[in-house]
A and B are shown apart, each in its own frame.
Chain A
Amino acid sequence: MEKVILARIGEIALKGLNRKNFENKLASNMRKAMKDCGEFVINWSQSRFFIEGKDNFDIDKAVEKLTKVFGIVSVSVATCVENDMEEIKKAAHHVVEKKLGNEAMTFKVEAKRGNKSFHLKSPEICNELGAYVLKNFSHSVKVDVNNPDFIVFVEVREKSYVYTDIVEGHRGMPVGSNGKGCLLLSGGIDSPVAGYMVAKRGVELVCVHYHSYPYTSERAKGKVIDLAEILASYCGTIKLYIVPFTDIQLEINKRCEQSYGTIIMRRSMMRLAEKIARHTGCMALVTGESVGQVASQTMHALYCTDNAVNMPVFRPLIGMDKTEVIDIARKIDTYETSILPYEDCCTIFTPKHPKTRPNLDDVLKQEERVDFEVLEKEAFDSMELVVVE
């Protein structure tokens, strides 16, 4: 009996005339995600995608990859047979046998008859198949329609699909269906989560990291590449730009008042990110800021950083507190990498008493002391590109 992966889509199914574009994008993203899983063919109709593998297809690995593709709501491995009740029974026998352990279990059957030419109606399929399973596994199963241990799902379409398990995906929209955004990726807990949330809405990510060697180490840079790799497992290939930032920090530290150091540094980071965004065709910046979390993320500080650029700045974590962010970081598997101790190791540039309510006019006046145009051009010209798969 043939095994097929069923992938369900959510939001895309609600799209109108441009639905095709979303579906094509999703199929292309699915192909990329499964490129190391062997040969396969993808078909789709209505709100289902069907992946049929060849002999060398690693179905378990493919399921794992697919659940991370944005746009997919859930995935099941189904046994696929012709639209024939005897065949469907055989398939059900197969999946139930696999499901059963040593303990007795309760079950029910849920049928969906998409193909109205099939001679039995959904409740009739349930009845007949339920009776069949009960008879064939009389020692180990009982019916419980309210709270069963497992459900035998049957979908009658062009062919019939029988399965028991549904693996949740990350939902969202296919990456690339919603333009490009430029993520400021620090290596902390927040920014990878911010990137994940925006990518989930179909935005392709370009990442920027500021490197202050020797004040931060090569390991800190390696850690950011690791984080970009985890993000790439959701959103495909990521371009990561690593910008040498030491000279800018040294100049700020030398010429500006200590308490303004952080806000001026952040403005410079935003300007550079905007430059990279325009260079790579991004239409927005993305940051992991959350209002009030630290001195540089107060309302006043955000007002000052926003003022540095002429582009929308998306801050998907703006209303979240740390534990909520950590929950997502754990879910998407970036947390353990984010908490490695390299980043922020040398807080040499952090002022003891940063301004929590910086005034924009004062910030602009302080900024005049440093020739940012020249320094930022130098930094931009010497940035390094890492393509992360």
Chain B
Amino acid sequence: MREIYFDNSATTKQLNSVIRVMVHTAEKFYGNPSSLHSLGYEAEKELRRNRQIFSDLLNCDEKEIVFTSGGSESNNLALIGYARANPRKGNHILVTETEHPSVLECAKYLSDNGYNVEYIPVDRKGVPDLEWIRDKVKEKTVLVSVHHVNSETGSILPIKEICKIVKGKNGNTVFHADCVQSFGKLKIDTKDLSCDMLSISAHKIGGPRGIGALYVKKGIRVEPVIFGGGQEGGLRSGTENLPGIAGFAEAASIAYENLEEWFEKVREIRDYIAKELGKENKVHVISNLESSLPYILNVSFEGIKGEVLLHSLEAKGIYVSTGSACSTRKNKRSHVLTAMQIPNNIIDGAIRISFSAQNTLDEAKEAVEIIKEEVSMLKRTR
């Protein structure tokens, strides 16, 4: 049967070359990088070689890269780790309303433990109010965490500008950027952004699950969340996942090599779908096409439940997702779309179509026809 995978922001299919690199690494470098013998040393050198790939891509020092088990752990290490290491610097934290749960739940944990957490509001495009931030950063503000690209809508947030505003108000405030949805899709330069911490993940760009990294700028004190043998400069204990790291490095290298080309390709696919569906009656394109990342398209079909459409598309071999769990139960609607003040009846009809460079325009054309058919079929039933 046909299989059109349009759920790439949930996770991507691993690239063939990534699988090959991982198998090769597992076969050849099976020693523990911490072991004293030569097999361990070989593994250590391989680890270092891969770490350098990341420090080159992100324009930082290799000592500033901490490998983790993925985006969620990176975000936990950034928020919880920084707060724990700097208990006396202040107790005020700012995060965007539309962050990923791994940031929001950490913020909530810190709020339960004596921190004053405030949530930065966003506008209809999902972009924070910069003046609000300028106004809120105070002497007591220890940490500001803002995501680069929103996972439900593709909205790009001006993290460089926000970082500049934050630092302008309080030079001691630390800035963390969750770049899980943007890494490998937009150029990210830690020096250019001048941020202090930055989270990335492998499986959103054709790499394996279970591996990610946190950039921690030299001089920023962070306490580990996982304790043990002291790997990753003491910040992340546990025997290094070398095949995962090598697969991540491969995926990242390929993504960077093809960054512009893939961006254009995906933009063409996204624009086609948005344009065609946008012509239909009662269809709302929620993602802002000018200012959002083309890898993610959020569209709402008013009068239909997103989840029902998802299942009827799945029956035709097209895989998408909903940001919200469809339900009549309250408070289950997407926190992102709610924060963007999208009306409830439009949130209920929203689906997220997310792409990778492996998708084609032909798939997009086929998908548009099927979506139109399914939507009109579902509308007839009402």
Contacts and interface: CB of A to CB of B under 8 A. Distances in A.
A346 B381 contact: no
Interface stretch (A81-89, A209-217, A310-318, A356-364): A209-217
Interface string A332-353: 0000000001000111101000
Nearest to B378: A214
A347 B328 contact: yes
A60 to B, nearest CB: 35
Interface in B313-331: 314-315, 325-328
B327 A214 contact: no
Name the residue in B307, B311, B312 with the highest tally of chain A Cβ atoms < 10 Å from its Cβ. B311
B381 A214 contact: no
B308 A214 contact: yes
Nearest to A220: B311
Contacts of A345: 307, 325-327
Interface in A118-174: none
B305 A348 contact: yes
B325 A214 contact: no
Nearest to B316: A214
A7 to B, nearest CB: 45
B367 to A, nearest CB: 16
A346 B308 CA distance: 7
A253 interface: yes
Given A250-B381, A346-B305, A348-B305, A214 B328 contact: no
Interface string A206-250: 000000011111100000000000000000000000000000001
Contacts of A215: 308, 311
Name the residue in A214, A250, A341, A348 with the highest tally of chain B Cβ atoms < 10 Å from its Cβ. A214
Contacts of B327: 341, 345, 347
Given A345-B307, A346-B305, A346-B308, A214 B326 contact: no
A94 interface: no
Given A214-B312, A345-B307, A254 B381 contact: yes
A218 B319 CA distance: 14
Contacts of B381: 250, 253-254
Nearest to A246: B381
Interface residues of B, number: 15
B134 to A, nearest CB: 41
Contacts of B328: 347, 350
Given A213-B315, A253-B381, A254-B381, A348 B325 contact: no
Nearest to B332: A341
Interface in A172-213: 213
Contacts of B314: 214, 218
Contact of A346 (B315, B326, B382): B326
A253 B328 CA distance: 18
Interface in A250-277: 250, 253-254
Nearest to A253: B381
B58 to A, nearest CB: 39
Contacts of B309: 214
A341 B311 contact: no
Contacts of A213: 311, 315
Nearest to B328: A347
Contacts of B312: 214
A388 B314 CA distance: 26
Contacts of A218: 311, 314
A253 B381 CA distance: 7
A245 to B, nearest CB: 14
A21 B327 CA distance: 50
A53 B374 CA distance: 59
A250 B380 CA distance: 9
Contact of A348 (B308, B310, B315): B308
Contacts of A217: 307, 311
A216 B382 CA distance: 16
Contacts of B307: 217, 345-346
A215 B308 CA distance: 5
A348 B305 CA distance: 8
A341 B325 CA distance: 10
Contacts of A216: 311
Contacts of A346: 305, 307-308, 326
Contacts of B310: 214
Nearest to A254: B381
A347 B328 CA distance: 7
A218 B382 CA distance: 22
A214 to B, nearest CB: 3
Q: Across the A-B interface, give the 9 residue pairs with the lowest CB-CB distance, nearest first.
A: A214-B311, A214-B312, A347-B328, A250-B381, A217-B311, A346-B308, A215-B308, A214-B308, A345-B327
Given A214-B312, A341-B327, A345-B307, 16 more contacts: A213-B311, A214-B311, A215-B308, A215-B311, A216-B311, A217-B307, A218-B311, A218-B314, A253-B381, A341-B325, A345-B325, A345-B327, A346-B305, A346-B326, A348-B308, A350-B328
8 contacts: A214-B312, A217-B311, A341-B325, A345-B307, A345-B326, A346-B305, A346-B326, A347-B328
Interface of A: 213-218, 250, 253-254, 341, 345-348, 350
